[in-house]
Amino acid sequence: MHMLKMKDRDVVSIGDFTVEEIEGIMDYASEMVPIAKGEKKSKVLDGKILSTLFFEPSTRTRLSFESAMLRLGGGVLGFAEPSATSAKKGETLADTIRMAEAYSDVIVLRHPREGAARLAAKFSSKPVINAGDGAGQHPTQTLLDLFTIKSEKGKIGGINVNLMGDLKYGRTVHSLAHALAMFGADLTFTAPKELQMPEHVVKNVKSLGVKPKIESSLEKSISAADVVYVTRIQKERFPDLAEYEKVAGAYRIDMDVLEKAKKDMIIMHPLPRVTEIAPEVDSTPHAKYFTQAFNGVPVRMALLSLVLEVRE
Ligand code: NCD
């Protein structure tokens, strides 16, 4: 077990990993679950410090990274609001990263600009983990999404996954589509035409041997799904707010829509949700988004331990 060698690895894009590496991270994450729940204690990251640099809002990603670090006996410093830092005075990202490198052992970065994490990784000799770069990638979300599918469905290959909502600006689905194709899942992309999956992602998925179904009607595509992965319309990334108004609220899961779904279909969502899942859906056996959010802790524990090369 854990023959994975990931010391000092940056985690920028899901495509930087092999299927074997992702499986190794998921196996390791399974072992971390009792520690993530607080049922078992660990000091494996004692003396290590994580920097969390969040230039965009976050609840789950930042808090689950911090929980992961603290549960393993490590420490955390960072910011959740860049206006309270020297970025406000005009400091460059490169210089902010150099400081985090000097003060900590591993850096988690969320930034509005696509490519920011790749750039940060260049400036730091310490591992940089991408916690979302604009509409680009969100690789650690993908790891926990895959972990959730594997835990709930027992496998990933051959599973019918329907990604729906804002596929254009949603970074979680860009990373996830890529990874699901690596694992040989069947993919359906359900979105209004204006918000369909970017061509570069579709091409990439096809180059991995998966031919995605492109759909605009959820009513039509939901019946075949084993997993429906719902996303929020990414309002903050719309160049024109009138465009946002046109599509807001168009794709919504409620009890009526669920009548057409398989009995054991699961609903996932990276969260935050706004209106795309009705609250009454939460108490159905389909709803897995809160379990999914918890899974961020053991998955991030595994990842932090691997890049810092400590062994539980
Ligand atoms: C997502 C994100 O920030 O990309 N949230 C998350 O990390 N779980 C999804 C979103 O903001 O809609």
pLDDT in tens, 189-223: 999 999 999 999 999 999 999 999 999 999 999 99
Specify the domain boundaries for CATH 3.40.50.1370 within the chain: 14-137+294-307, 140-292
- Number of C-beta neighbours around residue 65 at 10 A: 27
Contact 169, 237 (CB under 8 A): yes
Q: What is the mean pLDDT of the chain?
A: 96
| Residue-level pLDDT at 246 | 84
- Ligand 1 centroid–CA 173 distance in Å is 10
What percent of the chain is predicted at pLDDT more than 70? 99
| pLDDT, mean of residues 254-276 | 96
CATH of 140-292, one of 3.40.50.300, 3.40.50.1370, 3.40.109.10, 3.30.300.130: 3.40.50.1370
Distance, in Å, from the CA atom of 184 to the CA atom of 141, rounded to the nearest integer, reads 19
pLDDT for 244 equals 86
| Residue-level pLDDT at 18 | 97
62 touches ligand 1 (CB under 6 Å): no
Q: Which fold has domain 14-137+294-307?
A: Rossmann fold (3.40.50)
Confidence of residue 100 (pLDDT cuts 50, 70, 90): very high
pLDDT at res. 2: 56
Local structure of residue 154 (DSSP, 8 states)? S
Q: How confident is the model at residue 129 (pLDDT cuts 50, 70, 90)?
A: very high
- Residue 3 reports pLDDT greater than 80: no
Closest atom of ligand 1 to 231 CA is 12
pLDDT score of 1 more than 90? no
Does the C-beta of 172 come closer than 6 Å to ligand 1?
A: yes
Write down the pTM of the prediction: 0.96
At residue 310, the pLDDT reads 82
Per-residue pLDDT for 275 more than 60?
A: yes
Residue 247 pLDDT grade (very low, low, confident, very high; cuts 50, 70, 90): confident
141 lines ligand 1 (CB under 6 A): yes
Q: Of the residues 271, 289, 300, which should be mutated to test ligand 1's pocket, given the most ligand atoms within 8 Å of the CB?
A: 271
Catalytic one among 9, 48, 60, 232? 60
Q: Is the pLDDT of residue 292 over 60?
A: yes
Which atom, in ligand 1's list, is nearest to the CA of 61?
7
Residue 164 β-bridge partners:
190, 230
Buried b (16+ CB within 10 A) or exposed e, 292-304: bbbbbbbbbbbbb
Residue of 110, 168, 269, 288 with catalytic role = 110
Label residue 312 by pLDDT band (50, 70, 90).
low
pLDDT digits (tens, 9 = 90+) for 146-184: 999 999 999 999 999 999 999 999 999 999 999 999 999
Which residue minimizes the CA distance to atom 7 of ligand 1? Answer: 61
> Does the CB atom of residue 140 touch ligand 1 within 6 A?
no
Q: How far is the CA of 3 from the centre of ligand 1 (A)?
A: 31
Question: Within the chain, where are the H helices?
Answer: 19-36, 60-71, 93-103, 116-123, 139-153, 171-182, 199-207, 218-221, 241-247, 255-258, 289-307
% of the chain beyond a pLDDT of 90:
92
Marked catalytic residue, from 62, 138, 171, 273 = 138
270 alpha carbon – ligand 1 mean position (Å): 6
What is the pLDDT, as a whole number, of residue 263? 97
Averaged pLDDT for residues 105-124: 97
Ligand 1: centre distance to CA 141 (Å) = 8
How far does the chain reach from its first CA to its final CA, in angstroms? Answer: 11
pLDDT one-digit tens code per residue, 6-60? 999 999 999 999 999 999 999 999 999 999 999 999 999 999 999 999 999 999 9
Catalytic residue among 9, 52, 61, 178: 61
Hey, whose CA ends up nearest to atom 12 of ligand 1?
A: 232
